[in-house]
Amino acid sequence: MKHLLLIALSSLLLVACGSKGDSAKGAPGGKGNGGKKGGVQRVLNVEGYVAELGQQGKNFQTMATLVPKNSVSLSAATSGRLVSLKAKDGAIVKKGTLLAKIDDSELRAQLKQAQSNKMLAEQKEQRVRCLFEKNGATKQDLESAEASLKSAQASVELIQAQLAKTEVRAPFSGKLGFVDVSVGAWLNSGTPIAELSEVDRLKAKFSLPQRYASVIKVGDKISLKDSERNVEKLGVVSALDAVISESSRTRRVMVDVDNAKGELIAGSFVSVNVAMEASNVQSFTIPSEAMILDREGAYVFVSQGGKAKIKHITTGLRTPMSVQVLSGLDVGDTVIVSGIVSLRPGADVKIKGLRHSINYEVE
């Protein structure tokens, strides 16, 4: 009997333990709740960004290269020996100044012969014309004499053109660089003599990103600064490239700069500050990593009452760091900017920190 009672008590204890285990598995918050129903949902710690209205009226800064208004490499147009050199290193010269002369003795002798032939051709043409008027010569004789005269005139003009090529003159007023030749040297056609640059007026060339390609126009004033020499100048936009580069998606801009005092040096870099006009349309600026794209367009997650909520937005200017939001957000919305890949609509979120707005201006 004692053994039977012990077996019965053991069976009762096992049934009781099993019932408690089953109750524990089905209890709220237990491991066997099968998901979120009645369970504790995981809270995501994320960073936020408070949406604030602002106007787009920023400055775009870049670097530009200063180049002379005009620049040319002076060179010999014909071959010969250099017999005269008036160009001096670093000299300032006026337009038309004779800088170098190549030996032209042979050409001058040819010119005298050509001028003599021209004189004989003129005399012959006059005699034949007089005879033709008196019926002493035919029309063919007159035409032959006229052709001979034109040929002689062309010979003279050809030699005169060749003589002009023996002279190297300044095509515009400017400053010479270093002179690379000496008197007595034999120069071949195209041999460089010196660089001539118009440095009292300079040009600054830089590129604007495609999104700013239309914010400036010819005649606008642009601020340029040479930080190394602490010189700041105002330039005037003189030209805009007709097309946007397919490779860089930028538009080239040219600015004229007055350098009459020689404060700037051609070939140096300067910083360019392009002032953008403030837009009448107020907008938000958010970090670029907060925006998501799908088939319906752009959207962001915002935190409302500790829950993640989707808001579809309309965007404007974009940069690698920021996105301009034209519509879809309200003032004070906390845009979620981290943990985006883990977010789902309705997910529990906790803002662990806010990012400062000054780091995300659209520029």
Edge-to-edge strands, sheet with 186-187: 167-169, 98-102, 80-85, 186-187
pLDDT by residue, tens only, the chain of 363 residues: 444 444 445 554 444 444 444 444 444 334 434 344 445 568 899 999 988 876 555 677 889 999 999 999 999 999 999 999 999 999 999 999 999 999 999 999 999 999 999 999 999 999 999 999 999 889 999 999 999 999 999 999 999 999 999 999 999 999 999 999 999 999 999 999 999 999 999 999 999 888 778 788 999 999 999 988 899 999 999 999 999 988 888 899 999 999 999 999 999 999 998 876 544 446 788 888 999 988 888 999 999 999 999 999 988 777 778 888 888 898 889 999 999 988 999 999 999 988 765 455 544
The pLDDT, as a whole number, for residue 276 is 67
The pLDDT, as a whole number, for residue 58 is 62
Q: Are 26 and 307 in contact (CB under 8 A)?
A: no
